[in-house]
Amino acid sequence: MRIGDAAAAVGVTTRTLRYYEQRGLVTARRTASGQREYGEEDVRRLHAVRGLLDSGLTIGDVRRLIDIIDALPDSPTVPQVRPGPYSDKCVVPQVAIRRLAELDARIRQLTELRDRLADGLDLRFGVLVGQLIGLDGTMSDARTGS
């Protein structure tokens, strides 16, 4: 299928597919006239890529997982994890643990920023801001749910 059909099948733009190709997430075959062509396996891979990106992984994370994505069946079952001689070689836990830690740090930073903003607004405007957003109390009340 051509790039427009593949993009529609995956729910992305043609520009996004070209970007994925540039980043090494998919390799389109070329027609004699140089147009990109995608097969069903490419579309399956692209669906998996979109799912991982939508889950919060980065392009770099997904690129590290491409070989594993291609090796999985269409509807993978969750395998039982057993320690073995090669279990430390698997990149999935490394990628997942690192990304979760990054997201946890970002959540902490955003929570702190939100709290500082609420406190600053409360200090300067008090009940007025609470009334503007539909609360009876102050911004601190909005934060704590009181």
pTM: 0.60
Is the pLDDT higher at 61 or at 134? 61
Spatial contact of 64 and 97, defined as CB atoms under 8 Å apart: no
CA dihedral defined by 121, 123, 124, 130, rounded to 10 degrees?
A: 50
Query: pLDDT tens digit string along 10-31?
Result: 999 999 999 999 999 999 999 9
- CA–CA separation, 62 and 68 (whole Å): 10
Spatial contact of 3 and 36, defined as CB atoms under 8 Å apart: yes
Where exactly are the structural domains of the chain?
Answer: 1-75
- Topology of domain 1-75 in CATH is Multidrug-efflux Transporter Regulator; Chain: A; Domain 2 (1.10.1660)
Residue 83 backbone phi and psi in degrees, to 5: -65, 140
DSSP code for 30: E
Identify the CA nearest to 57 among candidates 32, 31, 92, 28: 92
User: Is residue 74 scored above 60 in pLDDT?
Assistant: yes
User: Is residue 34 scored above 50 in pLDDT?
Assistant: yes
User: Is residue 78 scored above 50 in pLDDT?
Assistant: no
- CA–CA separation, 107 and 85 (whole Å): 35
Q: Which residues in the chain belong to E strands, given as ranges?
A: 29-30, 36-37
How many other CB atoms are there within 10 angstroms of residue 25's CB atom? 22
pLDDT-based confidence at residue 65 (cuts at 50, 70, 90): confident
Length of the chain: 146
Is the pLDDT higher at 121 or at 52? 52
